[in-house]
Amino acid sequence: MIKLDKLEKLGWDSLSFRAYIVRPELEYVREDIVTHIDGMDFDSQYIKDFFMNIYVTNPDEEEKMQIGSIKGRFFTLMDFTRFGITLSDVADCRGWDFEAMASAIVGKDGNIKPEIADEDDTIVYIEDFYINKQFRSCGIGSYIIDNLEDILYYYANTIIDKIIVLPQPRVVNKSKGLQNISEKNKKKDVIMKRLVSFYNENGFEFIKNTKYMVKKIR
C-alpha cells in the first residue's frame, strides 16, 4: 500500500497515472487490413508496447508532478506459437535488449521454459522502472508492481500472468532521460543489492542461470 503519511509530508496525497498502449502504424497499406497485418514483421504483429507516467497529486491544490515512469512490452505466447512461430523469431525483430530477454527464457527446444510460463500466458517485460529518489520511501514502487495487472487491464483489456524484469540501477541524465548507472559509481553494488531486494520483497525470483527475475501472478 501507498504510505500516505509519508506522501502527505511531502505535500501530496494521491497518485495519478497516464498510460499509453502503442502498436506500430498501419502504413503503406495496399490491400485489406488483415492481409497487411499478416505481412508485417512478427514483433509488430505480436508485441504491444506500453508507457506509463507516474504522478503525485493534490486535488485540493489542483497540482500534479511527474515523479517516475515505467515502460515495457507485453505479449501472449499462444498468439504466435499456434502458427509455429517461436519467441526467438519474434524477438529477433525487436532489438538486442528484448532478444537477450527472450534467449534467457527459451529452452534448447526453442520453446519457452515450462517453469517460467505456459503457452497461454501473457508476459510483461519491464524495460524501465524509475521513481524519483525523494519518493522511494512512500511505497509507490511496490504499489505499482502490485497493481500493474489491473492498470494494464484498464488500459489494454489484457490479463497478465507473468512479469519479467532485468534489475538494473538507472539514473536520470542531463537530457532528462534514463540511463544505466555508471560502472565507476562506487555505490553501484549497494544500489544493485537494494534493487534486487525490492524485487524480492515484491514477489520476484531470479530465473535460474540468468540475470532476469520473474514474478508469477497466476
Least confident of 74-83, 131-140, 143-152, 178-187: 178-187
> What DSSP line would sit under 66-110, residue for residue?
EEEEEEEEEEEHHHHHTTT--HHHHHTTT-HHHHHHHHHHB-TTS
In this structure, what C-alpha cell is assigned to residue 167? 534489475
Q: Would you place residue 88 in the very low, low, confident or very high pLDDT band (cuts 50, 70, 90)?
A: very high
pLDDT at 181 over 90: no
Question: What is the rounded CA–CA span in Å between residue 115 and residue 37?
Answer: 32
pLDDT band for 184, please (50, 70, 90 cuts): low
Q: What angle do CA 176, 51, 210 make, to 5 degrees?
A: 90
Yes or no: domain 22-52+67-216 corresponds to CATH 3.30.420.10: no
Average pLDDT over residues 109-114: 90
Q: For the stretch 86-110, what's the b/e string if a residue is b when 16 or more beta carbons lie within 10 angstroms of its beta carbon?
A: bbebbbebbeeebbebbebbbeeee
At which residue does the C-alpha cell 489491473 appear? Answer: 150
- Pull the grid cell for residue 172: 536520470
Average pLDDT over residues 140-160: 95
Contacts for 21-27: CB closer than 8 Å, 24+ residues apart: 21/48, 21/49, 21/50, 21/155, 21/156, 22/48, 22/49, 22/50, 22/51, 23/48, 23/49
Show me where the domains of the chain are located: 22-52+67-216
